Amino acid sequence: MTNIQLTILLEKYAETITKVNHKNIIEFFGITQDYEADNYYMVLQYAGNGDLEHYLNAHFSKLKWPTKIRMAQEISSGIDCLHNANIVHRDLHNKNILVHGDRMIITDFGLSLSLDNVAASIRSRVYGRCEYSDPQYINATSEYKWNKYSDIYSLGVLFWELSSGVPPFKAFKNRVTRMSMHLIR
């Protein structure tokens, strides 16, 4: 990736994430550059408990239903904020939900897009993790128009994971991923 491409990507990320201000969406502080190494870095909010996948692996057996419900509500509240700003995340999964204290924080807006940009909402290549992706996206034989329902499907997969401790397709993950990739081609 060239510096120009990286700069465009970082600007898009910053533009998207600064459109929203919500306690369940990662806070963006800025971008800095290490001139000697020619690297760019995003400065984001700290989340001390890692991602949701690791958090559930470590703590699931101790989580009570009221806590699981609150976690689901917080993720939903963040998605609602994005959708009210006409933003679709497109890559919502357990690694893109961070845990800070007892708060859920949605992160990784690298694939997100504004629905105001109709051309950008058309799929031209594969994005995200198949097991969290909308089946209509996986099964699309041609262009797929991203919409808020794509995130809602991913949210449902996260709810399953919050209630059971594992993603719904874990036993079939490798098979599902291979089949999905075959269908996409």
Catalytic residue set: 91
Please tell me the distance from the alpha carbon of residue 18 to that of residue 13, in angstroms, as a whole number. Answer: 8
The candidate with the shortest Cα–Cα distance to 132, out of 183, 88, 176, is 176
DSSP percent split of the chain into helix, strand, coil, nearest 5: 50, 15, 35
Please tell me the distance from the alpha carbon of residue 79 to that of residue 83, in angstroms, as a whole number. Answer: 6
Please tell me the distance from the alpha carbon of residue 102 to that of residue 153, in angstroms, as a whole number. Answer: 24
DSSP code at position 19: T
3-state DSSP assignment of residue 39? strand
Is residue 68 within 8 Å of residue 163, measured between CB atoms? yes
The token pair at 22 is 């919500």
